[in-house]
């Protein structure tokens, strides 16, 4: 059945198994401080479903398919942009070096959104005072 109905199926299964090993090996040693960013980063990667949703919506016809496909593209886009932006914000926090404390603090306050702004400014101020 496999050979007659799905010429690519065996190849896909091979790819699947190999990818499983790669995924397992590539994160085999992660320090605990990076567990959260890694979870968030891999969360963004499965946003690749966006490509699948685009193909499905591109070929959709009829209200049901169009509606479902449209919804799927919206959800997948949320996954992609939300995933990468959240991860980048988390990792941004790791960049500041103790030696050049003041500049990155101002930078963090400016670029990580208004939610972090007051605190970021505060940190810059006290950093300068100490």
Partner 1 sequence: MSRATATDLVYLVAIVGFILALKGLSSPKRARLGNLVGAAGMLVAVAWTFSLPQVYSHTRNLLLIIVAIVIGAVIGVPAARLVKMTAMPQMVAIFNGVGGGAAALVSLTEFISVPGKSLAIYKICEILFGVLVGSVSLAGSTIAFAKLQELMTGRPITYPAQQPINAAIGLAIVALLVVTVVTASTTVLVIVLVLSLALGAIFVLPIGGADTPVLISLLNAFTGLAVAASGFTLDSTLLIVAGTLVGASGTLLTRMMSQAMGRSLANILFSAFGSVVTATGEGPDASGRSVRAGTADDIGVLLAYARKVAIVPGYGLAVAQAQHTARELADALSARGVEVYYAIHPVAGRMPGHMNVLLAEANVPYDQLEEMDDANQDMATTDVALVVGANDTVNPAAKNTPGSPIYGMPIIHADQATNIVFLKRSMRPGFAGIDNELLYDPKTTMLFGDAKDSLSKLVSAVKAA
Q: Which of residues 34-73 bind partner 1 (CB under 8 A)?
A: 34-61, 64-66, 68-73
In the complex, least distance from residue 114 CB atom to partner 1, rounded to whole angstroms? 6
Residue 37: how many CA atoms within 13 Å on its side-chain side? 14
Enumerate residues 6+ apart whose C-beta is below 8 A from 67: none
Asked if 106 is part of the footprint of partner 1 (rule: CB under 8 A), the reply reads no
Residue 86 interacts with partner 1 (CB under 8 A): yes or no: yes
The minimum distance between CB 49 and partner 1, in angstroms, equals 5
Q: Is 128 in the site for partner 1 (CB under 8 A)?
A: no
Q: Least distance from C-beta 72 to partner 1, angstroms?
A: 4
Q: Does 92 bind partner 1 (CB under 8 A)?
A: yes
117 neighbors 127 (Cβ within 8 angstroms): no
Work out whether 127 is an interface residue with partner 1 (CB under 8 A): yes
Cα separation of 22 and 14, whole Å? 12
- Please report how close the Cβ of residue 60 comes to partner 1 at its closest, in angstroms: 6
- Asked whether position 103 contacts partner 1 by CB under 8 A, the answer is no
Which of 124, 115, 129 is closest to 96 using CA atoms?
124
Are 96 and 111 within 8 A, CB to CB?
no
């Amino acid at each position: 059945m496999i050979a007659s109905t799905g010429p690519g199926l065996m190849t896909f299964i091979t790819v699947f198994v190999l990818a499983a090993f790669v995924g397992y090996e590539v994160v085999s040693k992660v320090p605990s401080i990076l567990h959260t960013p890694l979870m968030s980063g891999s969360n963004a990667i499965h946003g690749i479903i966006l490509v699948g949703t685009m193909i499905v919506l591109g070929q959709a016809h009829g209200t049901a398919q169009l509606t479902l496909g449209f919804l799927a593209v919206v959800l997948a886009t949320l996954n992609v942009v939300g995933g990468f932006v959240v991860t980048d914000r988390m990792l941004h926090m790791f960049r500041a070096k103790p030696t050049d404390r003041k500049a990155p603090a101002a930078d963090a306050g400016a670029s990580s959104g208004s939610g972090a702004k007051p605190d970021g400014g505060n940190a810059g101020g006290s950093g300068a005072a100490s």
